[in-house]
Structure 1
Amino acid sequence: MQASAYLKLSVAVALVTIALKSAAWWWTGSVSLAADALESLVNLAGAMFALAMITLAAQPPDAEHPYGHHKAEYFSSGFEGILIIAAGLGIIWGAVDRWHHPQPLEGIAVGVTLAVVSSALNGLMAWAMLRKAREVRSVALEGDAPHLITDVWTSAGVVAGLLGVMATGWQWLDPLLAIGVALNILREGVHLIRQSSQGLMDTALDAESMQQVQAALDAFRQPETVRFDHIASRVAGQRRFVDLHMHMPATWSLGRAAQQRAAVEQALMQAVPGLRATIQLLPMDVEAHFDDPKDRT
Protein backbone atom coordinates (compact mmCIF):
# COMPACT_ATOMS: atom_id res chain seq x y z
CA MET A 1 0.00 0.00 0.00
CA GLN A 2 1.38 3.43 -0.94
CA ALA A 3 1.82 6.30 1.51
CA SER A 4 -1.09 8.19 -0.06
CA ALA A 5 -3.39 5.21 0.61
CA TYR A 6 -2.47 5.33 4.30
CA LEU A 7 -3.38 9.01 4.41
CA LYS A 8 -6.70 8.33 2.72
CA LEU A 9 -7.37 5.67 5.32
CA SER A 10 -6.31 8.16 8.00
CA VAL A 11 -8.93 10.62 6.71
CA ALA A 12 -11.61 7.91 6.97
CA VAL A 13 -10.51 6.97 10.51
CA ALA A 14 -10.50 10.65 11.50
CA LEU A 15 -14.10 11.03 10.31
CA VAL A 16 -15.17 8.02 12.36
CA THR A 17 -13.35 9.17 15.51
CA ILE A 18 -14.76 12.68 15.17
CA ALA A 19 -18.26 11.19 15.06
CA LEU A 20 -17.60 8.96 18.08
CA LYS A 21 -16.00 11.68 20.20
CA SER A 22 -18.59 14.28 19.24
CA ALA A 23 -21.30 11.84 20.30
CA ALA A 24 -19.47 11.28 23.60
CA TRP A 25 -19.24 15.04 24.16
CA TRP A 26 -22.92 15.56 23.32
CA TRP A 27 -23.95 12.72 25.60
CA THR A 28 -21.93 13.82 28.64
CA GLY A 29 -21.38 17.56 28.22
CA SER A 30 -17.73 17.00 29.15
CA VAL A 31 -15.34 19.77 28.09
CA SER A 32 -12.44 17.30 28.14
CA LEU A 33 -14.25 15.11 25.62
CA ALA A 34 -14.94 18.23 23.57
CA ALA A 35 -11.20 18.91 23.59
CA ASP A 36 -10.54 15.33 22.50
CA ALA A 37 -13.03 15.69 19.63
CA LEU A 38 -11.40 18.96 18.54
CA GLU A 39 -8.03 17.23 18.39
CA SER A 40 -9.50 14.59 16.08
CA LEU A 41 -10.83 17.39 13.88
CA VAL A 42 -7.27 18.68 13.62
CA ASN A 43 -6.20 15.14 12.71
CA LEU A 44 -8.65 15.23 9.82
CA ALA A 45 -7.41 18.57 8.50
CA GLY A 46 -3.78 17.47 8.90
CA ALA A 47 -4.35 14.17 7.08
CA MET A 48 -6.08 15.91 4.18
CA PHE A 49 -3.29 18.46 3.84
CA ALA A 50 -0.64 15.74 4.13
CA LEU A 51 -2.37 13.80 1.34
CA ALA A 52 -2.23 16.86 -0.89
CA MET A 53 1.46 17.41 -0.14
CA ILE A 54 2.40 13.77 -0.78
CA THR A 55 0.62 13.97 -4.13
CA LEU A 56 2.64 17.08 -4.96
CA ALA A 57 5.91 15.57 -3.72
CA ALA A 58 5.41 12.53 -5.97
CA GLN A 59 5.37 14.65 -9.13
CA PRO A 60 8.46 14.25 -11.33
CA PRO A 61 11.02 17.07 -11.76
CA ASP A 62 10.11 19.82 -14.19
CA ALA A 63 11.70 22.94 -15.66
CA GLU A 64 10.93 25.04 -12.57
CA HIS A 65 11.80 22.29 -10.09
CA PRO A 66 14.67 20.30 -11.61
CA TYR A 67 15.41 18.55 -8.30
CA GLY A 68 11.81 17.45 -7.80
CA HIS A 69 9.09 18.43 -5.31
CA HIS A 70 10.13 16.29 -2.35
CA LYS A 71 10.25 19.14 0.18
CA ALA A 72 6.51 19.67 -0.20
CA GLU A 73 6.03 17.09 2.57
CA TYR A 74 7.62 19.43 5.10
CA PHE A 75 4.77 21.89 4.59
CA SER A 76 2.38 19.17 5.73
CA SER A 77 4.19 18.74 9.04
CA GLY A 78 4.39 22.51 9.62
CA PHE A 79 0.74 23.07 8.72
CA GLU A 80 -0.42 20.37 11.10
CA GLY A 81 1.74 21.87 13.84
CA ILE A 82 0.04 25.25 13.39
CA LEU A 83 -3.39 23.62 13.52
CA ILE A 84 -2.47 21.74 16.68
CA ILE A 85 -1.33 24.93 18.44
CA ALA A 86 -4.53 26.72 17.44
CA ALA A 87 -6.61 23.80 18.74
CA GLY A 88 -4.66 23.74 22.01
CA LEU A 89 -5.27 27.43 22.65
CA GLY A 90 -8.97 27.02 21.88
CA ILE A 91 -9.23 24.11 24.31
CA ILE A 92 -7.60 26.13 27.10
CA TRP A 93 -10.07 28.98 26.51
CA GLY A 94 -13.07 26.64 26.80
CA ALA A 95 -11.63 24.79 29.80
CA VAL A 96 -11.03 27.99 31.77
CA ASP A 97 -14.62 29.07 31.11
CA ARG A 98 -15.92 25.68 32.32
CA TRP A 99 -13.69 25.95 35.40
CA HIS A 100 -15.45 29.20 36.36
CA HIS A 101 -18.89 27.86 35.36
CA PRO A 102 -18.92 24.14 36.28
CA GLN A 103 -21.68 21.87 34.99
CA PRO A 104 -22.63 18.35 36.11
CA LEU A 105 -21.72 15.52 33.72
CA GLU A 106 -24.22 12.90 32.61
CA GLY A 107 -23.91 9.53 30.91
CA ILE A 108 -20.19 9.26 31.64
CA ALA A 109 -20.17 5.49 31.08
CA VAL A 110 -21.44 5.89 27.51
CA GLY A 111 -18.98 8.71 26.80
CA VAL A 112 -16.07 6.67 28.14
CA THR A 113 -17.05 3.69 25.96
CA LEU A 114 -17.17 5.81 22.81
CA ALA A 115 -13.82 7.41 23.66
CA VAL A 116 -12.19 3.98 24.15
CA VAL A 117 -13.45 2.76 20.77
CA SER A 118 -12.14 5.86 19.00
CA SER A 119 -8.76 5.51 20.74
CA ALA A 120 -8.44 1.92 19.57
CA LEU A 121 -9.05 3.01 15.97
CA ASN A 122 -6.46 5.79 16.26
CA GLY A 123 -3.93 3.43 17.84
CA LEU A 124 -4.20 0.90 15.02
CA MET A 125 -3.96 3.64 12.39
CA ALA A 126 -0.91 5.22 14.04
CA TRP A 127 0.89 1.86 14.29
CA ALA A 128 0.33 1.16 10.58
CA MET A 129 1.42 4.67 9.55
CA LEU A 130 4.61 4.56 11.59
CA ARG A 131 5.62 1.28 9.98
CA LYS A 132 5.02 2.71 6.52
CA ALA A 133 6.78 5.98 7.37
CA ARG A 134 9.96 4.11 8.33
CA GLU A 135 9.72 2.00 5.17
CA VAL A 136 9.38 4.88 2.68
CA ARG A 137 10.91 7.71 4.79
CA SER A 138 7.78 9.86 4.39
CA VAL A 139 7.87 13.11 6.35
CA ALA A 140 4.10 13.54 5.91
CA LEU A 141 3.38 10.14 7.48
CA GLU A 142 5.94 10.82 10.22
CA GLY A 143 4.12 14.07 10.98
CA ASP A 144 0.64 12.54 11.04
CA ALA A 145 1.37 9.30 12.92
CA PRO A 146 2.82 10.87 16.13
CA HIS A 147 -0.20 13.14 16.33
CA LEU A 148 -2.47 10.09 16.23
CA ILE A 149 -0.41 8.54 19.01
CA THR A 150 -0.75 11.75 21.00
CA ASP A 151 -4.50 11.54 20.42
CA VAL A 152 -4.52 8.00 21.84
CA TRP A 153 -2.72 9.08 25.02
CA THR A 154 -4.96 12.12 25.26
CA SER A 155 -8.08 9.97 25.10
CA ALA A 156 -6.61 7.59 27.67
CA GLY A 157 -6.06 10.49 30.06
CA VAL A 158 -9.56 11.84 29.47
CA VAL A 159 -11.10 8.42 30.10
CA ALA A 160 -9.12 8.00 33.32
CA GLY A 161 -10.18 11.45 34.46
CA LEU A 162 -13.85 10.90 33.69
CA LEU A 163 -13.75 7.66 35.63
CA GLY A 164 -12.31 9.74 38.46
CA VAL A 165 -15.24 12.15 38.18
CA MET A 166 -17.63 9.20 38.41
CA ALA A 167 -15.86 7.88 41.50
CA THR A 168 -15.41 11.17 43.38
CA GLY A 169 -17.97 13.59 41.99
CA TRP A 170 -15.26 16.22 41.57
CA GLN A 171 -16.56 18.19 38.58
CA TRP A 172 -13.45 20.38 38.47
CA LEU A 173 -11.48 17.37 37.19
CA ASP A 174 -13.13 17.75 33.79
CA PRO A 175 -11.77 21.23 32.88
CA LEU A 176 -8.44 20.35 34.51
CA LEU A 177 -8.16 17.36 32.18
CA ALA A 178 -9.01 19.57 29.21
CA ILE A 179 -6.18 21.93 30.11
CA GLY A 180 -3.82 18.97 30.40
CA VAL A 181 -4.93 17.80 26.95
CA ALA A 182 -4.28 21.28 25.56
CA LEU A 183 -0.77 21.48 27.00
CA ASN A 184 0.09 18.11 25.50
CA ILE A 185 -1.30 19.25 22.14
CA LEU A 186 0.74 22.46 22.27
CA ARG A 187 3.92 20.50 22.93
CA GLU A 188 3.28 18.25 19.94
CA GLY A 189 2.50 21.25 17.72
CA VAL A 190 5.77 22.97 18.57
CA HIS A 191 7.65 19.73 17.85
CA LEU A 192 6.05 19.38 14.40
CA ILE A 193 6.80 22.98 13.44
CA ARG A 194 10.41 22.58 14.52
CA GLN A 195 10.69 19.33 12.54
CA SER A 196 9.30 21.04 9.45
CA SER A 197 11.62 24.04 9.72
CA GLN A 198 14.67 21.82 10.14
CA GLY A 199 13.76 19.92 6.99
CA LEU A 200 13.34 23.09 4.95
CA MET A 201 16.83 24.16 6.00
CA ASP A 202 18.52 21.10 4.44
CA THR A 203 19.57 19.05 7.45
CA ALA A 204 22.38 16.53 7.06
CA LEU A 205 21.93 12.78 6.85
CA ASP A 206 21.47 10.99 10.15
CA ALA A 207 24.53 9.52 11.87
CA GLU A 208 23.72 5.93 10.88
CA SER A 209 23.41 6.81 7.19
CA MET A 210 26.66 8.79 7.27
CA GLN A 211 28.43 5.80 8.80
CA GLN A 212 27.14 3.70 5.91
CA VAL A 213 28.41 6.30 3.44
CA GLN A 214 31.85 6.32 5.06
CA ALA A 215 31.99 2.51 5.08
CA ALA A 216 31.18 2.40 1.36
CA LEU A 217 33.91 4.96 0.61
CA ASP A 218 36.44 3.13 2.77
CA ALA A 219 36.20 0.16 0.40
CA PHE A 220 37.65 2.33 -2.41
CA ARG A 221 40.19 4.43 -0.49
CA GLN A 222 43.84 3.85 -1.54
CA PRO A 223 46.60 6.05 -0.04
CA GLU A 224 48.34 6.63 -3.38
CA THR A 225 45.47 6.44 -5.89
CA VAL A 226 42.02 7.24 -4.47
CA ARG A 227 40.89 9.55 -1.66
CA PHE A 228 37.72 11.47 -0.81
CA ASP A 229 37.08 14.83 0.85
CA HIS A 230 34.54 17.67 1.15
CA ILE A 231 31.74 15.20 1.90
CA ALA A 232 28.42 17.00 2.40
CA SER A 233 24.90 15.59 2.71
CA ARG A 234 21.33 16.82 2.86
CA VAL A 235 17.80 15.46 3.18
CA ALA A 236 14.80 16.62 1.13
CA GLY A 237 11.63 14.71 1.98
CA GLN A 238 12.13 11.08 0.95
CA ARG A 239 15.26 11.94 -1.05
CA ARG A 240 18.77 11.91 0.39
CA PHE A 241 21.81 13.47 -1.27
CA VAL A 242 25.56 13.38 -0.78
CA ASP A 243 28.20 15.48 -2.56
CA LEU A 244 31.94 14.78 -2.43
CA HIS A 245 35.27 15.14 -4.19
CA MET A 246 37.07 12.05 -5.45
CA HIS A 247 40.81 12.48 -6.04
CA MET A 248 42.70 10.23 -8.47
CA PRO A 249 46.13 10.26 -10.18
CA ALA A 250 46.35 12.82 -13.00
CA THR A 251 47.80 10.10 -15.23
CA TRP A 252 44.58 8.09 -15.23
CA SER A 253 42.52 8.20 -18.42
CA LEU A 254 39.09 9.83 -18.31
CA GLY A 255 37.49 6.47 -19.03
CA ARG A 256 39.22 4.78 -16.10
CA ALA A 257 38.31 7.63 -13.75
CA ALA A 258 34.69 7.58 -14.87
CA GLN A 259 34.50 3.82 -14.38
CA GLN A 260 35.84 4.14 -10.84
CA ARG A 261 33.37 6.92 -10.04
CA ALA A 262 30.48 4.81 -11.33
CA ALA A 263 31.54 1.97 -9.03
CA VAL A 264 31.62 4.33 -6.05
CA GLU A 265 28.17 5.74 -6.89
CA GLN A 266 26.74 2.22 -7.15
CA ALA A 267 28.24 1.25 -3.79
CA LEU A 268 26.81 4.35 -2.11
CA MET A 269 23.33 3.74 -3.48
CA GLN A 270 23.43 0.14 -2.30
CA ALA A 271 24.63 1.17 1.15
CA VAL A 272 21.97 3.88 1.59
CA PRO A 273 18.74 3.15 -0.35
CA GLY A 274 17.34 6.21 -2.10
CA LEU A 275 20.64 8.10 -1.96
CA ARG A 276 21.67 10.36 -4.84
CA ALA A 277 25.44 10.92 -5.08
CA THR A 278 27.20 13.75 -6.90
CA ILE A 279 30.95 13.08 -7.23
CA GLN A 280 33.41 15.62 -8.63
CA LEU A 281 36.62 14.14 -10.03
CA LEU A 282 39.89 15.90 -9.21
CA PRO A 283 43.59 15.03 -9.67
CA MET A 284 45.36 13.77 -6.57
CA ASP A 285 47.46 16.95 -6.22
CA VAL A 286 44.56 19.43 -6.63
CA GLU A 287 42.63 20.76 -3.63
CA ALA A 288 39.40 22.75 -3.43
CA HIS A 289 39.51 25.33 -0.64
CA PHE A 290 35.91 26.38 0.03
CA ASP A 291 36.91 28.36 3.09
CA ASP A 292 39.28 30.70 1.26
CA PRO A 293 37.95 34.31 1.14
CA LYS A 294 38.42 34.40 -2.63
CA ASP A 295 36.03 31.45 -3.01
CA ARG A 296 33.21 33.35 -1.29
CA THR A 297 33.24 36.31 -3.67
Structure 2
Amino acid sequence: MTAAAVRDPAITARLLRRAVIASTAVAASLILVKTVAYIATDSVSLLSSLIDSLLDLAASLVNMLAVRHALTPADDEHRFGHGKAEPLAGLAQAGFIAGSAVLLFVEAARRLAAPEPVTNTGVGVAVMVFSILASLALVTYQRHVVRRTGSVAIGADSLHYQSDLLLNGAVIVSLLASRWLTLPWLDPLFGIAIGAFILWSALQIVRLSTTQLMDRELPDAEREQIRAIALAHPDVRDVHDLKTRAAGPQAFVQIHIELDGDMTLRRAHAIADAVEAAIRHEFPHAEVIIHQDPAGLERHGLG
Protein backbone atom coordinates (compact mmCIF):
# COMPACT_ATOMS: atom_id res chain seq x y z
CA MET A 1 0.00 0.00 0.00
CA THR A 2 1.35 3.39 -0.94
CA ALA A 3 0.62 6.88 0.27
CA ALA A 4 -1.12 7.57 -3.03
CA ALA A 5 -3.43 4.67 -2.35
CA VAL A 6 -5.63 6.59 0.07
CA ARG A 7 -9.19 5.83 -0.92
CA ASP A 8 -12.75 4.97 -0.02
CA PRO A 9 -13.36 1.20 0.41
CA ALA A 10 -16.37 1.24 -1.92
CA ILE A 11 -14.32 2.98 -4.63
CA THR A 12 -11.51 0.44 -4.15
CA ALA A 13 -13.88 -2.49 -4.61
CA ARG A 14 -15.38 -0.95 -7.73
CA LEU A 15 -11.97 -0.22 -9.28
CA LEU A 16 -10.66 -3.72 -8.58
CA ARG A 17 -13.71 -5.38 -10.10
CA ARG A 18 -13.53 -3.18 -13.20
CA ALA A 19 -9.81 -3.91 -13.59
CA VAL A 20 -10.24 -7.70 -13.56
CA ILE A 21 -13.19 -7.49 -15.97
CA ALA A 22 -11.15 -5.32 -18.34
CA SER A 23 -8.19 -7.70 -18.15
CA THR A 24 -10.37 -10.73 -18.87
CA ALA A 25 -12.07 -9.03 -21.82
CA VAL A 26 -8.77 -7.93 -23.37
CA ALA A 27 -7.21 -11.39 -22.96
CA ALA A 28 -10.21 -13.10 -24.58
CA SER A 29 -10.17 -10.67 -27.52
CA LEU A 30 -6.45 -11.13 -28.10
CA ILE A 31 -6.75 -14.91 -28.01
CA LEU A 32 -9.32 -14.77 -30.79
CA VAL A 33 -7.32 -12.53 -33.14
CA LYS A 34 -3.97 -14.20 -32.40
CA THR A 35 -5.41 -17.65 -33.11
CA VAL A 36 -6.50 -16.46 -36.55
CA ALA A 37 -3.09 -14.87 -37.14
CA TYR A 38 -1.16 -17.97 -36.02
CA ILE A 39 -3.17 -20.21 -38.35
CA ALA A 40 -2.43 -17.79 -41.18
CA THR A 41 1.32 -17.33 -40.49
CA ASP A 42 2.50 -20.51 -38.70
CA SER A 43 4.96 -18.29 -36.81
CA VAL A 44 6.60 -19.54 -33.59
CA SER A 45 7.01 -16.00 -32.27
CA LEU A 46 3.31 -15.37 -32.87
CA LEU A 47 2.53 -18.70 -31.20
CA SER A 48 4.49 -17.43 -28.21
CA SER A 49 2.23 -14.40 -28.04
CA LEU A 50 -0.88 -16.58 -28.38
CA ILE A 51 0.27 -18.85 -25.55
CA ASP A 52 0.96 -15.78 -23.45
CA SER A 53 -2.58 -14.50 -24.07
CA LEU A 54 -4.04 -17.88 -23.12
CA LEU A 55 -2.13 -17.66 -19.86
CA ASP A 56 -3.27 -14.04 -19.48
CA LEU A 57 -6.88 -15.23 -19.59
CA ALA A 58 -6.23 -17.95 -17.02
CA ALA A 59 -4.44 -15.44 -14.78
CA SER A 60 -7.27 -12.93 -15.17
CA LEU A 61 -9.81 -15.53 -14.10
CA VAL A 62 -7.67 -16.36 -11.07
CA ASN A 63 -7.44 -12.63 -10.33
CA MET A 64 -11.21 -12.32 -10.55
CA LEU A 65 -11.65 -14.98 -7.88
CA ALA A 66 -8.80 -13.60 -5.76
CA VAL A 67 -10.05 -10.01 -5.80
CA ARG A 68 -13.56 -11.16 -4.95
CA HIS A 69 -12.18 -13.18 -2.02
CA ALA A 70 -9.84 -10.41 -0.88
CA LEU A 71 -12.74 -7.96 -0.67
CA THR A 72 -14.72 -10.33 1.57
CA PRO A 73 -14.98 -8.84 5.08
CA ALA A 74 -13.22 -10.50 8.02
CA ASP A 75 -15.10 -13.38 9.61
CA ASP A 76 -14.77 -15.67 12.63
CA GLU A 77 -12.18 -17.87 10.91
CA HIS A 78 -10.23 -15.05 9.24
CA ARG A 79 -10.10 -12.23 11.77
CA PHE A 80 -7.48 -10.33 9.74
CA GLY A 81 -9.56 -10.50 6.56
CA HIS A 82 -8.85 -12.25 3.28
CA GLY A 83 -6.36 -9.81 1.73
CA LYS A 84 -3.63 -12.41 1.23
CA ALA A 85 -5.73 -13.97 -1.50
CA GLU A 86 -4.19 -11.31 -3.76
CA PRO A 87 -0.50 -12.24 -3.35
CA LEU A 88 -1.49 -15.92 -3.57
CA ALA A 89 -3.11 -15.11 -6.91
CA GLY A 90 0.13 -13.39 -7.91
CA LEU A 91 2.05 -16.62 -7.25
CA ALA A 92 -0.51 -18.54 -9.31
CA GLN A 93 0.03 -16.05 -12.14
CA ALA A 94 3.78 -16.56 -11.92
CA GLY A 95 3.24 -20.31 -12.25
CA PHE A 96 1.07 -19.84 -15.33
CA ILE A 97 3.60 -17.49 -16.91
CA ALA A 98 6.57 -19.78 -16.20
CA GLY A 99 4.66 -22.69 -17.70
CA SER A 100 4.00 -20.73 -20.89
CA ALA A 101 7.72 -19.94 -21.16
CA VAL A 102 8.61 -23.64 -20.93
CA LEU A 103 6.08 -24.56 -23.63
CA LEU A 104 7.50 -21.83 -25.83
CA PHE A 105 11.07 -23.07 -25.36
CA VAL A 106 10.01 -26.57 -26.44
CA GLU A 107 8.26 -25.35 -29.60
CA ALA A 108 11.10 -22.97 -30.49
CA ALA A 109 13.67 -25.76 -30.11
CA ARG A 110 11.60 -27.97 -32.43
CA ARG A 111 11.46 -25.23 -35.05
CA LEU A 112 15.20 -24.57 -34.76
CA ALA A 113 15.83 -28.23 -35.52
CA ALA A 114 13.50 -28.06 -38.54
CA PRO A 115 13.04 -24.41 -39.66
CA GLU A 116 9.86 -23.54 -41.54
CA PRO A 117 9.13 -20.34 -43.49
CA VAL A 118 6.69 -17.80 -42.06
CA THR A 119 3.75 -16.92 -44.34
CA ASN A 120 1.16 -14.10 -44.47
CA THR A 121 3.32 -11.81 -42.34
CA GLY A 122 1.04 -8.84 -43.08
CA VAL A 123 -1.81 -10.47 -41.15
CA GLY A 124 0.51 -11.22 -38.25
CA VAL A 125 1.87 -7.67 -38.09
CA ALA A 126 -1.63 -6.17 -38.18
CA VAL A 127 -2.78 -8.41 -35.33
CA MET A 128 0.27 -7.59 -33.21
CA VAL A 129 -0.26 -3.84 -33.72
CA PHE A 130 -3.83 -4.32 -32.50
CA SER A 131 -2.49 -6.32 -29.53
CA ILE A 132 -0.07 -3.54 -28.61
CA LEU A 133 -2.80 -0.90 -28.66
CA ALA A 134 -5.20 -3.05 -26.59
CA SER A 135 -2.46 -3.95 -24.07
CA LEU A 136 -1.35 -0.32 -23.80
CA ALA A 137 -4.90 0.82 -23.03
CA LEU A 138 -5.27 -1.92 -20.40
CA VAL A 139 -1.91 -1.19 -18.75
CA THR A 140 -2.77 2.51 -18.53
CA TYR A 141 -6.01 1.69 -16.73
CA GLN A 142 -4.35 -0.92 -14.49
CA ARG A 143 -1.71 1.59 -13.40
CA HIS A 144 -4.49 3.98 -12.44
CA VAL A 145 -6.15 1.24 -10.39
CA VAL A 146 -2.89 0.24 -8.68
CA ARG A 147 -2.20 3.88 -7.73
CA ARG A 148 -5.67 4.11 -6.20
CA THR A 149 -5.82 0.69 -4.53
CA GLY A 150 -2.28 -0.64 -3.99
CA SER A 151 -3.52 -4.03 -5.26
CA VAL A 152 -0.79 -6.69 -5.61
CA ALA A 153 -2.92 -8.88 -7.89
CA ILE A 154 -3.66 -6.03 -10.32
CA GLY A 155 -0.05 -4.88 -10.06
CA ALA A 156 1.18 -8.36 -11.03
CA ASP A 157 -1.28 -8.46 -13.92
CA SER A 158 -0.13 -5.01 -15.05
CA LEU A 159 3.52 -6.08 -14.93
CA HIS A 160 2.67 -9.05 -17.13
CA TYR A 161 0.84 -6.91 -19.68
CA GLN A 162 3.73 -4.44 -19.69
CA SER A 163 5.99 -7.32 -20.68
CA ASP A 164 3.42 -8.16 -23.37
CA LEU A 165 4.05 -4.77 -24.97
CA LEU A 166 7.69 -5.69 -25.51
CA LEU A 167 6.76 -9.23 -26.48
CA ASN A 168 4.33 -8.04 -29.16
CA GLY A 169 6.92 -5.61 -30.48
CA ALA A 170 9.46 -8.43 -30.70
CA VAL A 171 6.96 -10.55 -32.62
CA ILE A 172 6.55 -7.75 -35.19
CA VAL A 173 10.32 -7.52 -35.60
CA SER A 174 10.51 -11.30 -35.97
CA LEU A 175 7.78 -11.41 -38.61
CA LEU A 176 9.31 -8.61 -40.65
CA ALA A 177 12.82 -10.05 -40.37
CA SER A 178 11.61 -13.46 -41.47
CA ARG A 179 9.91 -11.89 -44.47
CA TRP A 180 12.65 -9.50 -45.60
CA LEU A 181 15.75 -11.55 -44.75
CA THR A 182 14.36 -15.01 -45.68
CA LEU A 183 15.99 -16.56 -42.59
CA PRO A 184 13.48 -19.05 -41.13
CA TRP A 185 15.62 -19.72 -38.04
CA LEU A 186 15.18 -16.10 -36.88
CA ASP A 187 11.57 -16.76 -35.89
CA PRO A 188 12.30 -19.54 -33.35
CA LEU A 189 15.28 -17.56 -32.02
CA PHE A 190 12.96 -14.63 -31.30
CA GLY A 191 10.61 -17.12 -29.67
CA ILE A 192 13.35 -18.27 -27.30
CA ALA A 193 14.27 -14.67 -26.44
CA ILE A 194 10.63 -13.83 -25.76
CA GLY A 195 10.31 -16.94 -23.58
CA ALA A 196 13.28 -15.80 -21.49
CA PHE A 197 11.65 -12.40 -21.02
CA ILE A 198 8.35 -14.05 -20.00
CA LEU A 199 10.24 -16.12 -17.42
CA TRP A 200 11.87 -12.95 -16.03
CA SER A 201 8.46 -11.31 -15.64
CA ALA A 202 7.28 -14.38 -13.69
CA LEU A 203 10.18 -13.93 -11.26
CA GLN A 204 9.23 -10.27 -10.77
CA ILE A 205 5.66 -11.28 -9.91
CA VAL A 206 6.97 -13.84 -7.40
CA ARG A 207 9.02 -11.08 -5.75
CA LEU A 208 5.99 -8.77 -5.47
CA SER A 209 3.80 -11.53 -4.04
CA THR A 210 6.27 -12.87 -1.48
CA THR A 211 6.80 -9.34 -0.16
CA GLN A 212 3.23 -9.38 1.20
CA LEU A 213 3.12 -13.06 2.13
CA MET A 214 6.23 -12.54 4.30
CA ASP A 215 4.58 -9.55 6.05
CA ARG A 216 7.16 -7.02 4.93
CA GLU A 217 6.89 -3.57 6.51
CA LEU A 218 5.16 -0.75 4.65
CA PRO A 219 7.52 1.68 2.84
CA ASP A 220 9.66 3.90 5.09
CA ALA A 221 7.84 7.04 3.93
CA GLU A 222 4.52 5.64 5.11
CA ARG A 223 5.98 4.49 8.43
CA GLU A 224 7.37 8.00 9.00
CA GLN A 225 3.97 9.44 8.12
CA ILE A 226 2.31 7.21 10.73
CA ARG A 227 4.85 8.27 13.36
CA ALA A 228 4.30 11.93 12.51
CA ILE A 229 0.53 11.56 12.80
CA ALA A 230 0.85 10.01 16.26
CA LEU A 231 3.35 12.61 17.46
CA ALA A 232 1.14 15.42 16.19
CA HIS A 233 -1.23 14.84 19.12
CA PRO A 234 -0.21 17.30 21.86
CA ASP A 235 -0.41 14.68 24.63
CA VAL A 236 1.79 12.08 22.90
CA ARG A 237 5.35 12.39 24.25
CA ASP A 238 6.93 9.78 21.94
CA VAL A 239 6.17 6.62 19.94
CA HIS A 240 7.92 3.27 19.60
CA ASP A 241 7.49 -0.35 18.44
CA LEU A 242 5.76 0.60 15.19
CA LYS A 243 4.92 -2.56 13.24
CA THR A 244 3.19 -2.55 9.88
CA ARG A 245 2.26 -4.99 7.12
CA ALA A 246 -0.09 -5.23 4.16
CA ALA A 247 -2.45 -7.94 2.95
CA GLY A 248 -3.95 -7.13 -0.42
CA PRO A 249 -5.78 -3.80 -0.18
CA GLN A 250 -5.65 -3.76 3.64
CA ALA A 251 -2.85 -2.55 5.91
CA PHE A 252 -2.23 -3.37 9.56
CA VAL A 253 -0.58 -0.91 11.95
CA GLN A 254 0.53 -1.50 15.55
CA ILE A 255 2.15 1.31 17.50
CA HIS A 256 2.97 2.21 21.12
CA ILE A 257 2.40 5.80 22.20
CA GLU A 258 4.03 7.29 25.30
CA LEU A 259 1.83 9.40 27.56
CA ASP A 260 2.03 11.13 30.95
CA GLY A 261 2.17 8.30 33.45
CA ASP A 262 -0.10 10.16 35.89
CA MET A 263 -3.06 10.68 33.56
CA THR A 264 -6.22 8.64 34.03
CA LEU A 265 -6.92 5.48 32.03
CA ARG A 266 -10.01 7.16 30.58
CA ARG A 267 -7.92 10.09 29.29
CA ALA A 268 -5.26 7.73 27.85
CA HIS A 269 -7.99 5.77 26.09
CA ALA A 270 -9.43 8.95 24.58
CA ILE A 271 -6.00 10.00 23.28
CA ALA A 272 -5.42 6.57 21.73
CA ASP A 273 -8.81 6.79 20.01
CA ALA A 274 -7.92 10.22 18.61
CA VAL A 275 -4.55 9.00 17.29
CA GLU A 276 -6.20 5.94 15.76
CA ALA A 277 -8.80 8.10 14.02
CA ALA A 278 -6.07 10.38 12.65
CA ILE A 279 -4.10 7.43 11.25
CA ARG A 280 -7.21 5.88 9.71
CA HIS A 281 -8.07 9.22 8.10
CA GLU A 282 -4.83 9.01 6.09
CA PHE A 283 -4.91 5.20 5.72
CA PRO A 284 -8.61 4.29 5.42
CA HIS A 285 -7.86 0.61 4.77
CA ALA A 286 -5.67 0.22 7.83
CA GLU A 287 -6.56 -1.70 10.96
CA VAL A 288 -4.85 0.21 13.77
CA ILE A 289 -3.90 -1.14 17.20
CA ILE A 290 -2.47 1.32 19.74
CA HIS A 291 -0.85 0.50 23.06
CA GLN A 292 -0.42 3.23 25.68
CA ASP A 293 2.80 3.35 27.74
CA PRO A 294 3.89 5.74 30.51
CA ALA A 295 6.56 8.09 29.14
CA GLY A 296 10.12 7.47 30.25
CA LEU A 297 9.95 3.69 30.80
CA GLU A 298 12.86 1.62 29.50
CA ARG A 299 11.72 -0.19 26.39
CA HIS A 300 12.97 -2.77 23.95
CA GLY A 301 11.55 -2.86 20.42
CA LEU A 302 12.28 -2.83 16.70
CA GLY A 303 11.19 0.72 15.83
Q: TM-score range by the shorter chain?
A: over 0.9
The 8 Å contact of residues 240 and 275 in structure 1, kept in 2 or not, is answered as yes
Aligned length: 289
1:213 matched residue in structure 2: 226
Equivalent in 230, 234, 247 of residue 236 of structure 1: 247
Secondary structure in 1 matching 2:178: helix
Q: Do the aligned residues in 1 keep the contact of 2:240 with 2:301 (CA within 8 Å)?
A: no
> What is residue 245 of structure 1 aligned with on the other side?
256
State the alpha-carbon separation in 2 of the partners of residues 219 and 281 from structure 1.
16
**1:209: how far off?**
1.0
**Residues 90 and 206, structure 2, Cα contact 8 Å, conserved in 1:** yes
Helix, strand or coil for the counterpart of 1:216?
Answer: helix
Partner of 1:294: none
CA distance in 2, matches of 1:66, 1:273: 18
Q: Which amino acid aligns with 2:278?
A: A
Name structure 2 gaps, 5 residues minimum.
1-13
CA distance in 1 between counterparts of 2:66 and 2:223 reads 28
CA contact (8 A) 2:227 2:239 kept: no
The CA deviation at 1:18 is 0.7
Amino acid at match of 1:209: E
Q: Which runs of 5+ in 1 are unaligned?
A: 292-297
Higher relative contact order (CA 8 A, sep 6+): 2
Greater mean alpha carbon deviation, residues 258-267 or residues 212-221: 212-221
Aligned to 1:200: 213
Alignment match, 1:117: 130
Distance, in Å, in 2 between the alignment partners of 1:65 and 1:241 is 14
- How far apart, CA to CA, are the structure 1 residues paired with 2:129 and 2:299? 61
Q: CA deviation at 1:12?
A: 1.4
Q: Structure 2 vs 1, CA of residues 83 and 48 (structure 1 numbering), >3 Å: closer, same or farther?
A: same
For residues 26-59 of structure 1, what are the alpha-carbon distances to aligned partners after superposition, in whole Å with 9 as ceiling and x for unaligned?
1011011001100001100000001001111111
Show the counterpart of 1:157: 170
Q: Does 1:260 align with 2:271?
A: yes
Deviation (angstroms), 1:157: 0.9
TM-score, reference length from structure 2:
0.91
Give the CA deviation at 1:290: 5.7
The whole-number CA distance in structure 2 between the counterparts of 1:178 and 1:166 is: 16
Q: Which amino acid aligns with 2:272?
A: R
> Residue 276 of structure 1: which of 263, 280, 287 is its match?
287
1:91 aligns with 2:104: yes
Please give the root-mean-square deviation of Cα atoms over the aligned residues, in Å.
1.6
Q: Percent identity?
A: 28
Distance 1:206 1:278 in 2: 19
Q: AA paired with 1:241?
A: F
Greater radius of gyration (CA): 1
- 2:19 maps to what in 1? 6
